[in-house]
């Protein structure tokens, strides 16, 4: 057995965050190598280093591929050597045909004129190889996600692939399509193609992987060899979560009161796919002074639930009841939701949370302009005072409140968004990934703010993909999987293993 | 600016030097200085014709309808849209007014009111396609441009309709009546100008005081005095020039009041703030409880009303409605906003910028005509000025 790929002591630093630190990965020729880790463990970053998205020189360490050290400048460089990556978000052009997509940027042509018969002949061969029974002329938009995934793979095969990297290939697929895709991987293996499979679905990994590398907090924990002995899912989970959690979270003694927000039988459908139910009859409550966490893997439907609750900002055919302090309320528009004391702090602060080209002051007052105006005229000095107060309270680091928010660091931007929602006077704060893309020091500050809010009697909901974070700050945790709550734990009884197990059991329940 | 700025307390900052201050506020004053530079340039090359009272009065009259429409266009552009139909709408409304007043003998005041309502309805129709049916404004208003150009032709049967009764003409070519007259000087007009200049100085002085009370960094004192003195002098001088001809045109008053209202609405009122938020980041604005669709709709209604007003002013000035009225106005109006620093991506732009942009275009039109430059090269030069202004803006931002 020879190693086709060796990544040695890879390190990658983003401003304020060490995303990868001393990662070692050895992939043998002809195997299916799985990479697992929690969200944010560094899997995608590692693959971006490998494929040249982050060019040589922007990371530390060495990449050896087929016996030589490689220094990729961009994706084209790595593709030339047959390293093909298929991203989680498919990169297909919806309004072009399958054949055109397969050869996009790689068209068989003579003097710039596309050889259409060659395109269709080769497309047909490739489609047969991946087992997709569709005409090459069919538009990509007209086929389902599962088939689109196969088109992506056919596209990779059109390029002389030696190492196929699949990032969460089955995340959006149903059970049948996932099965077919896994079978395809095994077939490729028989033909001698090496693959790297990144997946959260441990049962799939158990089925097909020859070796498993576990990442945690940007470092390799271990590489497990499945050829010697079968590796159990529990064993993998243990590797993924075993970390010390001392002192990352502030201490707090919660004082929990009566329920503030109760949601009953909440059901939401996807805005574009009306048959897809994204929240499935959810029942949920959060109490005064309580921090409730919602755990789940990416795509579990947590953000969708939160946004649908917040004035139906997401989804369609929304049904269910919302109670505040025991009384049913109408939160069918964002304005009504805000008026009833709901606030939703988005996971995507740059595109959904901030006015990037406006200053801190205007961002802080945006959700409650009435609070700084009389008869529609803004009291500019009052506004200044409000913004300055929040700047001091939340320790927003800036030259003054007239600084544009685009120039702030991630942590300070998050504090601006938090200020905005605090100034709207909420009783229930829903924080979606409140520490995403924020460095460790600022995270601690955000946790302190969240806890202070709960101590002031606000009801706080935290959605996070970082399980240690949820365990560190929540008083109670709901576990969500595919739009349903599949577990609920008090802080004392919650652990990463229990949460993971709840998710895995639910996924297998769905599978069988 | 870096993200690691030290924590400083507002009010404890050392006051910046003049040079620093000018550098930071170059964008604001740069436009005004460019306008003055262009005026001085044409004043010299036209041997002083540009600022002759007669010509200055004409300049104001010629540009009033562009300025009026630029106020509405600025809001549309800040909200992240565009309106290509304003020229055609203005022409159509001018025709409508002519048909109502001249052919149907509707009283001018009623006709004006009906025309403004019609403009609002046109804006509402286009706005609802843009806001509620999510059709790109470029396409909706391109369609509107064709529709209203055609309707104007149909309404006027391809002919000019006029003349208007004097009461209607007064909307544009009338001058405010003079009570006292000293020689040829229209004292009332001059007095209004001086009062307006005093009011402006007073407002900027009180707002400076308030800012200082709240420890907000203000302009350096010397600079503040110089700026206000200059502004005062310029306003008084221009009204003096107007007063020494026939006084202030009525439309000048209309324009001035509208500018003041829109400047206030955009900078100090919640609705203005919301329009900037909508254009800056529509999704974030929506999630902050702003009713983005209704707001978009209203900016188009507002644009329709102002386009109608501009159409009335233009028809009153020509004293006739022609099917070709309003042709190409949209280009001057849009150019005025972009020269004035509005961003094509939305969220950025000021009323004063758009007004100055409109006057830069107007002074150039007027000056080049006096110089006898043909309409052909006038267009070339105007196009290049637009490109250069936006280029400088984008280039400065990138630095």
**In the Cβ-directed half-sphere of A490, how many Cα atoms lie within 13 Å?**
4
Residue in chain A lying closest to B280 (CA): A355
pLDDT of residue B10: 39
DSSP-derived secondary structure for A144-160: -HHHHHHHHHHHHHTT-
Residue in chain A lying closest to B264 (CA): A377
Q: Are B97 and B346 in contact (CB under 8 A)?
A: no
Quick one: residue B349, left, alpha or beta (phi over 0 = left, psi -120 to 50 = alpha)? left
Tell me the CATH number for domain A3-241.
3.40.50.300
Would the pLDDT of B63 be above 50?
yes
Structure token pair of residue A478:
């709901």
Architecture of domain A255-341+426-512: 3-Layer(aba) Sandwich (3.40)
Would you tell me the crossing angle of helices B187-213 and B221-243 to the nearest 10 degrees? 160
Tell me the CATH number for domain B61-174+271-399.
1.10.3470
Minimum distance, in Å, between the CA of residue B289 and any CA atom of chain A? 5
Nearest to A376 among B213, B271, B280 (CB): B271
Which one of A357, A377, A386 makes the best mutation probe of the B interface by having the most chain B beta carbons within 10 Å? A357
Tens of pLDDT, residue by residue over A345-376, are 998 888 899 999 899 999 999 999 999 999 99
Residues in A touching B287 (Cβ below 8 Å): 310, 313, 334, 344, 346, 352-353
Tens of pLDDT, residue by residue over B204-228, are 888 888 888 887 777 788 888 888 8
Which one of B284, B290, B293, B343 makes the best mutation probe of the A interface by having the most chain A beta carbons within 10 Å? B284
pLDDT of residue A289: 94
Residues in A touching B214 (Cβ below 8 Å): 381, 384-385
Average pLDDT value for residue range B24-42:
81
- Cβ of A367 and B288 within 8 Å? yes
Residue in chain A lying closest to B274 (CA): A366
Burial of A411-450, coded b for 16+ CB within 10 Å and e otherwise, reads bbbbbbbbbbbbbbebbbbbbbbbbbbbbeebbbbbbbbb
Q: What residue segments make up the domains of chain B, in order of their start?
A: 61-174+271-399, 176-248
Minimum distance, in Å, between the CA of residue A352 and any CA atom of chain B? 4
pLDDT of residue B1: 34
Residues in A touching B273 (Cβ below 8 Å): 362, 366, 369, 378
Residues in A touching B291 (Cβ below 8 Å): 335
Which runs of consecutive H residues, i.e. helices, occur in A251-408? 302-309, 334-339, 360-365, 380-393
Residues in B touching A380 (Cβ below 8 Å): 268
Would the pLDDT of B8 be above 60?
no
Which one of A15, A306, A358, A394 makes the best mutation probe of the B interface by having the most chain B beta carbons within 10 Å? A358
| Residues of chain A where predicted confidence (pLDDT) is lower than 70 | 1, 15-17, 39-40, 172, 174, 242-247, 439-441, 510-512
- Cβ of B8 and A399 within 8 Å? yes
Would the pLDDT of B390 be above 60?
yes
Residues in A touching B5 (Cβ below 8 Å): 397-399, 403
- Cβ of B270 and A409 within 8 Å? no
- Cβ of B270 and A344 within 8 Å? no
Which one of A15, A340, A364, A366 makes the best mutation probe of the B interface by having the most chain B beta carbons within 10 Å? A366
Would the pLDDT of B5 be above 70?
no
pLDDT of residue A111: 79
Tens of pLDDT, residue by residue over B243-271, are 888 888 889 999 999 999 999 999 999 99
Residues in A touching B216 (Cβ below 8 Å): 381, 384
pLDDT of residue A262: 95
Tens of pLDDT, residue by residue over B129-181, are 999 999 999 999 999 999 999 999 999 998 999 899 998 998 887 888 877 66
pLDDT of residue B276: 96
Q: What residue segments make up the domains of chain A, in order of their start?
A: 3-241, 255-341+426-512, 352-425
Tens of pLDDT, residue by residue over A124-154, are 999 988 888 888 889 988 888 778 888 988 8
Please, which residues have CB within 8 angstroms of residue B7's CB and are 6 or more apart in sequence? A395, A397
Q: What DSSP character marks residue B165?
A: P
- Cβ of A358 and B284 within 8 Å? no
Minimum distance, in Å, between the CA of residue A78 and any CA atom of chain B? 32
- Long-range CB contacts for residues A239-246, cutoff 8 Å, separation at least 24: A239/A36, A239/A214, A240/A36, A240/A37, A240/A38, A240/A41, A240/A214, A240/A216, A240/A496, A240/A500, A241/A38, A241/A216, A241/A467, A241/A468, A241/A496, A241/A497, A241/A500, A242/A216, A243/A216, A243/A217, A243/A468, A245/A468, A245/A471, A245/A472
Q: Please state whether beta strands A3-14 and A60-65 pair in parallel, antiparallel, or not at all (unpaired).
A: antiparallel
pLDDT of residue B17: 57
CA–CA gap between residue B69 and residue B131 (Å, rounded)? 20
Fold match between domain A3-241 and domain A255-341+426-512: yes
- Cβ of A398 and B4 within 8 Å? no
Residue A176, Cβ density class (10 Å: 0-12 exposed, 13-18 middle, ≥19 buried): exposed
Average pLDDT of chain B?
A: 88
pLDDT of residue A25: 93
Q: Are A123 and A102 in contact (CB under 8 A)?
A: yes
Helix then strand then coil, % of chain A, to nearest 5:
35, 30, 35
pLDDT of residue A242: 67
Between A and B, how many residue pairs show a Cβ–Cβ distance under 8 A?
104
pLDDT of residue B23: 63
Confidence of residue B185 (pLDDT cuts 50, 70, 90): confident
Would the pLDDT of B328 be above 70?
yes
CA–CA gap between residue B165 and residue B228 (Å, rounded)? 42
Residues in B touching A366 (Cβ below 8 Å): 273, 277, 284-285, 288, 290
CA–CA gap between residue A145 and residue A139 (Å, rounded)? 13
Tens of pLDDT, residue by residue over B362-389, are 999 999 999 999 889 999 999 999 898 8
């Amino acid at each position: 057995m020879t190693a086709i790929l060796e990544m040695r002591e890879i390190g990658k630093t983003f401003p304020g965050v060490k995303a990868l630190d001393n990662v070692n990965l050895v992939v043998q020729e002809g195997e299916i190598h799985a990479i697992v880790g929690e969200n944010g463990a560094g899997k995608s970053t590692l693959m971006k280093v490998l494929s040249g998205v982050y060019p040589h020189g922007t990371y530390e360490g060495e990449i050896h591929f087929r016996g030589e050290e490689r220094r990729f400048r961009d994706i084209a460089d790595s593709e030339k050597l047959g390293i093909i990556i298929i991203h989680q978000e498919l990169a297909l052009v919806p309004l072009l045909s399958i054949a055109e997509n397969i050869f996009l940027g790689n068209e068989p042509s003579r003097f710039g004129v596309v050889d259409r018969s060659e395109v269709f002949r080769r497309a047909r061969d490739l489609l047969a190889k991946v087992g997709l029974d569709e005409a090459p002329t069919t538009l990509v938009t007209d086929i389902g996600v599962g088939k689109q995934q196969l088109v992506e793979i056919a596209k990779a095969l059109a390029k002389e692939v030696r190492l196929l990297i699949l990032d969460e290939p089955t995340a959006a697929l149903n059970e049948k399509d996932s099965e077919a895709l896994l079978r395809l991987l095994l077939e490729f293996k028989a033909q001698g193609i090496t693959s790297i499979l990144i997946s959260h679905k441990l049962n799939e990994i158990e089925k097909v992987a020859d070796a498993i590398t576990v990442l945690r907090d940007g470092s390799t924990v271990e590489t497990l060899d499945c050829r010697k002995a079968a590796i159990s899912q529990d064993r993998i989970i243990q590797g993924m979560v075993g970390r010390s959690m001392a002192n990352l979270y502030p201490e707090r003694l919660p004082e929990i009161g009566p329920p503030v927000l109760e949601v009953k039988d909440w059901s939401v459908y996807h805005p574009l796919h009306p048959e897809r139910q994204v929240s499935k009859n959810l029942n949920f409550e959060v109490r005064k002074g309580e921090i409730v966490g919602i755990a789940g893997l990416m795509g579990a439907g947590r953000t969708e639930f939160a946004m649908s609750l917040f004035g139906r900002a997401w989804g369609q055919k929304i049904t269910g009841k919302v109670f505040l302090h025991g009384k049913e309320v109408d939160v069918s528009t964002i304005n009504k939701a805000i008026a009833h004391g709901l606030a939703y702090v988005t996971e995507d602060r740059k595109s959904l949370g901030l006015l990037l080209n406006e200053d801190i002051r205007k961002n802080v007052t945006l959700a409650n302009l009435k609070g700084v105006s009389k008869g529609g005229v803004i009291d500019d000095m009052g506004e200044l005072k409000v913004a300055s107060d929040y700047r001091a309270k939340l320790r927003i680091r800036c030259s003054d409140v007239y600084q544009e928010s685009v120039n702030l660091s991630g942590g300070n931007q998050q504090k601006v968004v938090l200020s905005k929602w605090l100034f709207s006077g909420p009783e229930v704060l829903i924080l979606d990934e409140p520490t995403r893309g924020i460095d460790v020091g600022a995270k601690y500050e955000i946790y302190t703010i969240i806890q202070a809010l709960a101590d002031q009697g606000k009801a706080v909901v935290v959605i996070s993909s970082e399980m240690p974070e949820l365990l560190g700050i929540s008083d109670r945790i709901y576990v969500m999987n595919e739009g349903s709550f599949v577990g609920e734990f008090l802080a004392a009884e919650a652990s990463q293993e229990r949460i993971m197990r709840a998710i895995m059991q639910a996924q297998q329940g769905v599978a069988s | 600016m870096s993200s690691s700025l030290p924590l400083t307390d507002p009010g404890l900052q050392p006051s910046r030097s003049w040079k620093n201050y000018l550098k930071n506020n170059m964008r604001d004053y740069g436009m005004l200085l460019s306008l003055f530079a262009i005026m001085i340039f044409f004043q010299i090359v036209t041997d002083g014709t540009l600022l002759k009272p007669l010509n200055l009065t004409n300049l104001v009259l010629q540009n009033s309808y562009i300025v009026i429409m630029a106020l509405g266009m600025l809001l549309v552009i800040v909200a992240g849209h565009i309106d290509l139909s304003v020229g055609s709408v203005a022409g159509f409304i001018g025709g409508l007014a002519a048909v109502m007043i001249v052919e149907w003998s509707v009283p001018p005041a009623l006709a004006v009111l009906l025309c403004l309502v019609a403009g609002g309805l046109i804006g509402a129709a286009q706005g609802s396609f843009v806001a509620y049916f999510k059709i790109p404004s470029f396409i909706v208003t391109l369609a509107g441009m064709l529709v209203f150009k055609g309707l104007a032709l149909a309404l006027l049967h391809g002919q000019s309709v006029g003349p208007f009764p004097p009461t209607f003409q007064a909307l544009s070519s009338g001058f405010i009546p003079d009570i006292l007259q000293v020689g040829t000087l229209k004292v009332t007009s001059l007095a209004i100008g001086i009062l307006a200049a005093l009011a402006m100085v007073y407002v900027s002085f009180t707002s400076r005081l308030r800012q200082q009370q709240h420890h907000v960094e203000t302009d350096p004192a010397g600079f503040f005095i110089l700026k206000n003195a200059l502004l005062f002098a310029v306003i008084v001088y221009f009204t003096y020039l107007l007063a020494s001809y026939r006084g202030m045109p009525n439309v000048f008053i209309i324009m001035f009041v509208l500018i003041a209202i829109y400047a206030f609405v955009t900078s100090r009122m919640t609705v203005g703030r919301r329009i900037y938020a909508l254009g800056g980041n529509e999704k974030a604005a929506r999630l902050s409880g702003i009713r983005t669709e209704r707001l978009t709709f209203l900016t188009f209604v507002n644009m329709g009303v102002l386009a109608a007003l501009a159409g009335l002013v233009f028809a009153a000035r020509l004293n006739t409605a022609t099917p070709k009225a309003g042709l190409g106005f949209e280009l001057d109006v849009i150019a005025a906003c972009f020269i004035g620093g509005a961003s094509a991506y939305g969220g950025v732009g000021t009323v004063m910028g758009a007004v100055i942009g409109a006057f830069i275009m107007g002074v150039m039109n007027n000056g080049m005509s006096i110089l006898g430059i043909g309409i052909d090269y006038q267009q070339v030069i105007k196009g290049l000025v637009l490109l250069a202004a936006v280029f400088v803006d984008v280039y400065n931002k990138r630095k």
